[in-house]
């Protein structure tokens, strides 16, 4: 079992990353992935993610370790971008490989729920030339509560 956790300041290719991950976990019966990208529309010109370096990558590593401790996984992939991103660019890729699909689904969902509500990132978007901060939604916190 292995985890691959990365924090990137540059763009990544989700299809290539998922292809590598899947090939590395050929013994797994299920590979589940989630790709978060900057959405088009709403006047969004840019999305920016800032982070606190001493906590971000170690926190992401702990999150992946917790997921692999909760479910019998063959592997876990967590890639997260920082910096400015344009609409259509990938922000986050989470993938979990497991013998059975349900474990992979649960682990990927667990990781994303944590990244959305208890992450080490500050997010803002530029709309019509003006920046505004984005806070987690009530739904994000409600999603987190089911893992307690």
Confidence grade of residue 1 (pLDDT, cut at 50, 70, 90)? low
By residue range, what is the domain housing residue 19?
Answer: 2-143
Per-residue burial over 5-23, b = 16 or more CB atoms within 10 Å of its CB, e = otherwise: bebeeeebebeebbeebbe
Q: At what angle do helices 101-117 and 138-145 cross, to 10 degrees?
A: 130
- CB of 38 within 8 A of CB of 89? yes
Query: pLDDT tens digits, residue range 93-135?
Result: 999 999 999 999 999 999 999 888 777 889 999 999 999 998 8
CATH number, domain containing residue 133: 3.90.1170.40
How many domains, the chain?
A: 1
Query: pLDDT tens digits, residue range 23-68?
Result: 999 999 999 999 999 998 888 999 999 998 889 999 999 999 999 9
In this structure, what token pair is assigned to residue 143?
């999603």
Question: Does residue 131 fall inside a structural domain?
Answer: yes
Q: List Cα–Cα distances, 106 to 7, 19, 35, 102, 132, in angstroms.
A: 22, 21, 15, 6, 32
Question: Does residue 148 fall inside a structural domain?
Answer: no
């Amino acid at each position: 079992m292995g985890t691959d956790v990365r924090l990137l300041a540059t763009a990544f290719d989700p299809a290539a990353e998922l292809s590598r991950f899947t090939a590395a976990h050929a013994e797994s019966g299920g590979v589940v992935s989630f790709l978060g990208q900057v959405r088009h529309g709403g006047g969004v010109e840019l999305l920016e993610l800032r982070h606190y370096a001493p906590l971000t990558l170690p926190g992401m590593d702990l999150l992946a370790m917790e997921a692999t401790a909760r479910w019998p996984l063959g592997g876990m992939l967590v890639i997260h971008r920082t910096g400015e991103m344009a609409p259509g660019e990938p922000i986050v890729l989470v993938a979990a490989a497991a013998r059975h699909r349900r474990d992979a689904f649960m682990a990927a969902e667990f990781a994303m729920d944590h990244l959305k509500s208890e992450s080490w990132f500050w997010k803002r978007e530029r709309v019509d030339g003006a920046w505004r901060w984005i806070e987690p939604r009530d739904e994000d916190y409600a999603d987190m509560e089911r893992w307690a």
